[in-house]
Amino acid sequence: MENNTALKIPIKPPIGGLKKGILANKSEHDKYMASIDPKTVSNRLGLVIDDSGSMGDDGMDNAHKAVQGFTANCDMKDTSIAVYPLNANSKSLVCDFDLVNLYVNGLRATGGTPIYTVLEKLITNESITRAILFSDGSPTDSNCIEKDNDGWSSRSSEFAKKVIKLYNKKEVPVDTIFIGTEGSSGYNEMKELARLTNGIFINFKDSNSLATGLKYLSPRYVSLLANAEIKERIQRGETI
């Protein structure tokens, strides 16, 4: 018997309908984002990014990847992020992480390392609950250790202490990441800054480890760092 069953060919949706669907989804996304107040969500994070000349092209490429991994592990329903580079203009708290990554991906290595100047602007301008700083060098503006920081500081240590007091008064910890050799002046400064503000200190040997490890300071994973063994594995660049 001859089979007269018609061959069923999948029909592609019209281009116009597909475009309308994409636009509708974008509209819903925009409405949802507009309904979230980045100043009142429970996790309000200030990312202080080292974009100084010492980071170089490779370091900044890894910094871009690091922030992408970090934001991928944040929830826009309860987390907002402000970006304060050491040299470029800042970006205030937002819950749309696509905007965060778009901005960060445009950062390039240039300038110095005015860590405390930028930290002061961050705590003054943004209602953050936590600051997260990564750098591969020593501050060029001040230092919290009673030493002239090898002559690099443009201000006395009193300025750094004043900034730290601002964070302590608002009970905002500063988590610090130093990229480089243990025991260097930058390492010691970042470690002391974290200690004085009740923050977390991490040492990555290179920016490749930063690229994969920054995500562990996101709200989803940060509690893992309370475990010394896990923290050491993360510092070695291992994926948990």
- Please report which confidence band the pLDDT of residue 1 belongs to, taking 50, 70 and 90 as the band edges: very low
Give tens-digit pLDDT for 225-239: 999 999 999 998 888
Look at residue 237 in the predicted model and tell me its pLDDT. Answer: 85
Contact in structure between 83 and 100 (CB atoms under 8 Å) = yes
Contact in structure between 191 and 178 (CB atoms under 8 Å) = yes
Where exactly are the structural domains of the chain? 43-112+126-138+170-235
Helices of type H across the chain: 15-34, 56-72, 97-104, 115-125, 157-169, 185-196, 207-213, 228-235
> Residue 72 corresponds to which tokens in the numbers above?
């991928």
Q: Distance between CA 223 and CA 221 in Å, rounded? A: 6
State the pTM of this model.
0.84
Look at residue 226 in the predicted model and tell me its pLDDT. Answer: 92
CATH 3.40.50.410, applies to 43-112+126-138+170-235 = yes
Bridge partners (DSSP) listed for residue 134:
49, 177
Q: Distance between CA 92 and CA 68 in Å, rounded? A: 17
Q: Distance between CA 152 and CA 16 in Å, rounded? A: 61
Mean pLDDT over all residues of the chain?
Answer: 89
